[in-house]
């Protein structure tokens, strides 16, 4: 049994069924670009995003995963996950999936930016106002926090 969070489990379920909204699907619908935004080399397929992209392989190497795990010659994301599950211990596979989930979140941040939400309340907890804004280009949690504080202060001044 894998010990992982529900978010990671749902992500893996979608990944294994190759139903994540990857760039090649978005492009097929007439939107966006098919080219990977991180390496500008491959088409944004699941296999590219999670196995073949240079950004991904570097991260997996840093996570302690060998080339034999990363560069398997499977042709589907399910086969790759299945083969990887068979070659790692349960604990290592859970770590591997957690890294993939983090890579997915980072890709989404890179591609879509982040949103900031602020709620202003009085001392009794009553909601006085709020805002939500898209903040493209923020790629670090510290910058997201700083942007949220700035938005909070702007709301307080209004």
- The site for Zn ion (CB under 5 A) is made up of 36, 38-39, 42, 53
Q: Closest separation between CB of residue 20 and Zn ion, Å?
A: 15
Going by DSSP bridges, is the β-strand pair 127-135/114-121 parallel, antiparallel, or unpaired? antiparallel
Of 15 and 116, nearer to Zn ion (C-beta) is 15
* Helix, coil or strand: residue 113: coil
Task: Please report the DSSP string for 16-39 in residue order.
Answer: HTT-S--HHHHHHTT-S-SB-TTT
Of 36 and 118, nearer to Zn ion (C-beta) is 36
Q: Closest separation between CB of residue 59 and Zn ion, Å?
A: 12
* Helix, coil or strand: residue 119: strand
Q: Closest separation between CB of residue 86 and Zn ion, Å?
A: 26
Of 37 and 85, nearer to Zn ion (C-beta) is 37
């Amino acid at each position: 049994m894998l010990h992982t969070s529900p978010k990671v489990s749902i992500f893996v379920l979608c990944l294994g069924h190759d139903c994540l909204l990857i760039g090649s699907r978005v492009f097929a619908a007439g939107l966006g670009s098919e080219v990977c935004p991180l390496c500008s080399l491959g088409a944004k397929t699941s296999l590219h995003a999670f196995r073949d992209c240079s950004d991904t392989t570097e991260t997996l190497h840093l996570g302690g995963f060998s080339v034999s795990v990363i560069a398997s010659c499977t042709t589907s994301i399910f086969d790759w996950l299945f083969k990887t599950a068979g070659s790692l211990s349960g604990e290592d596979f859970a770590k591997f999936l957690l890294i993939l989930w983090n890579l997915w979140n980072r890709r989404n941040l890179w591609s879509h930016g982040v949103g900031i939400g602020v709620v202003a309340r009085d001392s009794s907890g009553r909601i006085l106002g709020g805002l939500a804004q898209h903040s493209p280009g923020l790629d670090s949690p510290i910058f997201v926090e700083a942007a949220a504080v700035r938005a909070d202060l702007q709301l307080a001044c209004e």
